[in-house]
Chains A and B, each alone.
Chain A
Amino acid sequence: MKPFTPEIDWNDTVISIRGLYKSFGANHVLRGVDLDLFKGENIVVLGRSGTGKSVLIKIIAGLLKPDAGTVNVLGQEVPELGTVELRELRLKLGFCFQNGALYDSMTVGENLEFPLKRNDPKMTADQRRRLVDIVLEAVGLSQTINQMPAELSGGQRKRIGIARTLILRPEIMLYDEPTAGLDPITCTEINTLINEVQKRFKTSSIIITHDLTCARATGDKIAVMKEGKFIRQGDFDTVFSDNSDELIREFYDYNFIQ
């Protein structure tokens, strides 16, 4: 369970998705997705591999174009935005990739400074360095500032990936499988970090995962995706109290029995 009660503004929708469809050739990935993310809320999207969870957040970030439907993020229709408007919107979105997606040729410090240099050229080197120190401290990895990504563990790479998105002070965080491939202790640390980010930086988040421990620890709402659409949405206990659906039953059994 979450260690704190988040401040959710139920009147302020930061992401609103209606009737979203996306296909890759004959492969229909999303088949009518509807979703609302409120300010300050963490939604966990659960589902089997290949059900379109990552595609969903890539569409939200404007990395993919939907075939049909509306994607409203912070009051703007993402598919209709031009390059400049999309870039401005992306400054308010933090996208944490599954493997961190750190720039291999840069040190951790340079990885964090890079988005600042590009997006705020007027910022001095000292100001950038201070911000880097703040976010590194927030993810608990201040000592890695001069290390190369190849020298970091999987968990550290994910933390630095989160730090790199936090440095632009986003309003919305999109996490793509933040605990995939990590040991249970590191998973717990990442879950704590996701909650810390929500609390300290007042972000709203969509968290894509297979991991029910992560879902229970970080999600204010769980949305279960099956065959390209959400079959159930609600808090953790509500979603898993009714195990009439085979997917939900198997998910629960696999995560908590195995």
Chain B
Amino acid sequence: MESNDQPEKPLISSKVDAFFLSVYDIFRFISRFFREVLRPPLEVQEFIRQCFMVGYKSLALISLTGFITGLVFTKQSRPSLAEFGATSWLPSLISIAVIRALAPLVTALICAGKVGSSIGAELASMKVTEQIDAMEVSAINPFKYLVVTRILACTVCLPLLMSYTALVGMMGSFLDIHLNEQTSITAFFNKAFANISFLDLASSLFKSICFGFTIGVVSCYQGFNASQGTTGVGKAANVAVVISMFLIFIEEIVIVQIVNSIR
């Protein structure tokens, strides 16, 4: 009795079928994450190691980017505000821009590039060199050990990194304002936070959690399901970054719309 004698006919077209099958597959992947995440044993050590890789190892890049973003944004905004004699509004403008939009987005895009590609490539190379199968046959749950810990680490670290980016961005902005207007740090932060509401902070944190989860899921999914040998490793890393960035922008638009409707 042989099965699959004929290749199955596509329901719509092979590409459309493949798209819906992969969407279904991703939902199964996500539901498996939620099933496994609280099931013991909790891989605490590996989770901490991944937090170190995602969080601490991204600090240098995040610091540089955050600081320059705040500094440049302030420099670029000053001439326009100066025309109206409103340079004193710079701290408020910068804080709103940084906290509401720039910090979550810049952090997520940097992490999608740095962390997403690294997770995608690492898991893909483990897959093609049979290391994941080796875990499986050693009675170790590779999904729990490799995937759950990485998705959790991304989800936990992104809001922390975002807060740090916001702080560093504000410091970059402060440097420029201090050099030009001799504003003290207390005055700067008083003005900066005067127009920031709880909703701004909460929505940024929520966005970062969503972005982190997205980066984790997409890069782990691509890596864990890699094929085609070494070509598959590069492909997994590349696709992880592209899809993560695409989804981050979509989520940004959706969350901004929701928050604005609440505001």
Contacts and interface: CB of A to CB of B under 8 A. Distances in A.
B2 A164 contact: no
Interface stretch (A89-97, A197-205, A248-256): A89-97
Contact of A101 (B41, B129, B141): B129
Nearest to A98: B130
B7 interface: yes
B229 to A, nearest CB: 12
A103 interface: yes
Interface in A32-71: 58, 61, 63, 67-68
B2 A101 contact: no
A88 interface: yes
Contact of B4 (A25, A88, A93): A25
A156 B5 CA distance: 43
Interface in B1-54: 1-7, 41
Contacts of B1: 19, 21, 68
A31 B131 contact: no
Interface stretch (A114-122, A129-137, A212-220): A114-122
A58 B7 CA distance: 23
Contacts of A25: 4, 7
A168 interface: yes
Interface in B128-144: 129-131, 133-134, 136-141
Interface residues of A, number: 34
A63 B136 contact: yes
B3 A101 contact: no
Contact of B139 (A19, A68, A118): A118
* Residues of B in contact with A, size category: 20 to 34
A254 B120 CA distance: 42
Contact of B133 (A26, A63, A68): A63
A88 B139 CA distance: 7
A101 B131 contact: yes
A99 interface: yes
Interface in A1-46: 19, 21, 23, 25-26, 28, 31
A228 B159 CA distance: 53
A25 B139 CA distance: 29
B131 A67 contact: no
Interface of A: 19, 21, 23, 25-26, 28, 31, 58, 61, 63, 67-68, 87-88, 90-91, 93, 95, 97-99, 101-104, 114-115, 118-119, 121, 161, 164-165, 168
A63 to B, nearest CB: 6
Given A118-B138, A118-B139, A103 B131 contact: yes
A104 B131 contact: yes
A19 B1 CA distance: 9
B4 A23 contact: yes
B2 A23 contact: yes
Contacts of B41: 121
Nearest to B133: A63
A19 B140 CA distance: 30
Closest 4 CB pairs of A and B: A101-B134, A95-B137, A115-B138, A101-B130
A88 B138 CA distance: 10
A115 B4 CA distance: 37
Contact of B137 (A28, A61, A102, A103): A61
Contacts of A63: 133, 136-137
Given A23-B3, A25-B4, A118-B139, 20 more contacts: A25-B7, A61-B137, A67-B3, A68-B2, A87-B141, A88-B139, A90-B137, A90-B139, A91-B139, A97-B133, A98-B130, A99-B129, A103-B131, A104-B129, A115-B139, A119-B139, A119-B140, A121-B41, A161-B134, A164-B134
Contacts of A101: 129-131, 133-134
Scoring B131, B138, B145 by chain A CB atoms within 10 A of each residue's CB, the highest score goes to B138
